[in-house]
Chains A and B, each alone.
Chain A
Amino acid sequence: MFRVIRQIWSNFKEYIVLVILLIASLVTISFNHKPEVKKIRAAAFGSFAVVSSVLSETFGIASIRSENAELRKMNAELMLQVSRLRQFAIENEELRSLVGLKDTASLPLIPAAIVSRSLIRTQGTVTLNAGNSDGVKPGMPVISGHGLLGIVYSTSENFSIVRTLQNTDLKLTVKNERSRVDAVMKWNGEDLIMVDVPKTYDVEPGDRIITSDLSSVVAVPLPVGVVIGFEKIETGIFNEVKVRPFADFLRAENVFVVGIVESIQKKDLELNFYNR
């Protein structure tokens, strides 16, 4: 008996090991959402990010000059915009105080730098050098100078992993800024698309897309992208709307984590409402 087993092992050991390891890999996939696994991952990527952040800063110096020029230009444009918005803000503040609305304009921003990116573009994650100690929590939105970049997925003491908009697991409720049409947006492997938008809805190329206040992930209006076209226009009653994101996922280096997490109180309230 043992001789037979030994013979099988010596003849087919590569295949036996392959099958065992493949089964182990498939079983591991089902453990992804366990809290213990999340803890181990946070510790592992936190330790690794310490090293990669040092190298990242070294390589980043080369690109600082061009980034500075771009930032100076953006600064000038923003300065003009700010002076215009300041007028609106004064007016808005007066009007809000008249009707007794709460102030939602100021959002805490936590500065961070991207210290490493996912190995493969389609993986859609980046690592930031800001973590629990800086006040970063899972669920917080991350913005670049241009718009929404992604959502914090996991944090360690000093680092955090962000799912960018190019991650298939990230689905956001967004809104057309002009026509106020809401839709769910996701990454399909090639483009950012708003799915199942009825053909009768008013959406035009060039419309700005922002995060919707209906979103259970980001409930403050953050710029996301601009409509560039439609898909599936021949068949069905729904369109897929293609969106070009404002944020540049490949070149973004310095970002801000918006220090807000969607209110648990609000979620509980909504769940209770639906449970009635």
Chain B
Amino acid sequence: MRSEYLWSILFFFPVLVVQTTFIPLISIGGIVPDLVLILLIFYTLRNYQLYGTVLGFVYGFLFDIITGSLLGSAMLSKTLAGFTAGYFATETKRDKYLRSYNFAFIVLLCAVIDLMVYSFFGPAEISRNILLLFFQQAMLPGLYTAVISLIVLIFIPGRRLF
């Protein structure tokens, strides 16, 4: 379990490097997928809710401190995303979720929660159309992240996509 914690934190750094260098090149209209969130959900499903909540907090802290975003904003949103993903990490179903298209749906749900919370600390003005904001800043990047998570799923051994 301890080594799992260590690996999950060590993996964060190469993923963040790819996120900030390569991922902007595949952005669509400025919308980019969130690889860090995919990693968080992957580890949460493997190690249950408590682990996911703490890991979300750690990822959020590292993310905030490295990228220069408002310290505490990603901590809050990623903690909630990890906690939400933890509801799917039950003894009986986690393997099913980890190795099928269900993984993408969990990613979509958690990404929407993560991005919605995160956008409250971002530049969007709440007085503007809240539905439009939800669509632009949470739904679209969430969908893109979910699609990319399907590609990531290919590299997980023993997968059954459908």
Contact = CB atoms under 8 A, between A and B. Distances in A.
Interface string B40-75: 000000000110011001001101011111111101
Contact of B24 (A167, A187, A250): A250
B53 A14 contact: yes
A56 B79 contact: no
Interface in A111-127: 115-125, 127
Given A25-B57, A119-B20, A122-B137, A14 B83 contact: yes
Contact of B21 (A18, A55, A166, A168): A55
Contact of B67 (A26, A119, A168): A119
Contact of A25 (B22, B65, B76, B115): B76
B50 A17 contact: yes
A109 interface: no
B79 A119 contact: no
Contacts of A268: none
22 contacts: A18-B80, A18-B83, A21-B57, A26-B76, A28-B71, A29-B71, A29-B73, A32-B71, A45-B66, A45-B68, A48-B16, A48-B17, A52-B20, A55-B17, A55-B22, A56-B21, A118-B67, A125-B67, A127-B68, A189-B124, A189-B125, A189-B133
Q: For A14, A30, A44, A51, which residue has the most chain B Cβ atoms within 10 angstroms?
A: A14
A125 B69 contact: yes
Contact of B65 (A40, A120, A153): A40
Contacts of B57: 21, 24-25
Given A18-B83, A28-B71, A250 B30 contact: yes
B22 A32 contact: no
B123 A166 contact: yes
Instruction: Please classify the interface of chain B as helix (H, G, I), strand (E, B), loop, or mixed, using the class held by over half of its residues.
Output: helix
A250 B31 CA distance: 10
Interface residues on A, range: 35 or more
Contact of B72 (A25, A48, A115, A153): A25
A123 B63 CA distance: 12
A273 interface: no
A119 B65 contact: no
A31 interface: yes
Nearest to A47: B66
Interface of B: 13, 16-22, 24-25, 27, 30-32, 34, 36, 49-50, 53-54, 57, 60-61, 63, 65-73, 75-76, 79-80, 83, 86, 115, 118-119, 121-125, 128, 133, 136-137, 141
B21 A116 contact: yes
Nearest to B19: A119
A188 interface: yes
Nearest to A62: B25
Contacts of B69: 118-119, 123, 125
Given A48-B16, A119-B19, A41 B68 contact: yes
Contacts of B118: 120
B110 to A, nearest CB: 14
Contact of B76 (A22, A56, A154): A22
A115 B24 contact: no
A96 interface: no
Nearest to B22: A59
A33 B60 CA distance: 18
Given A29-B73, A116-B20, 19 more contacts: A14-B50, A17-B50, A25-B57, A25-B76, A26-B72, A28-B61, A32-B72, A37-B71, A45-B68, A116-B21, A119-B67, A120-B137, A125-B67, A167-B123, A187-B123, A189-B122, A189-B125, A189-B133, A250-B30
Contact of A24 (B30, B75, B121, B125): B75
A227 interface: no
Contacts of B75: 21, 24-25, 28
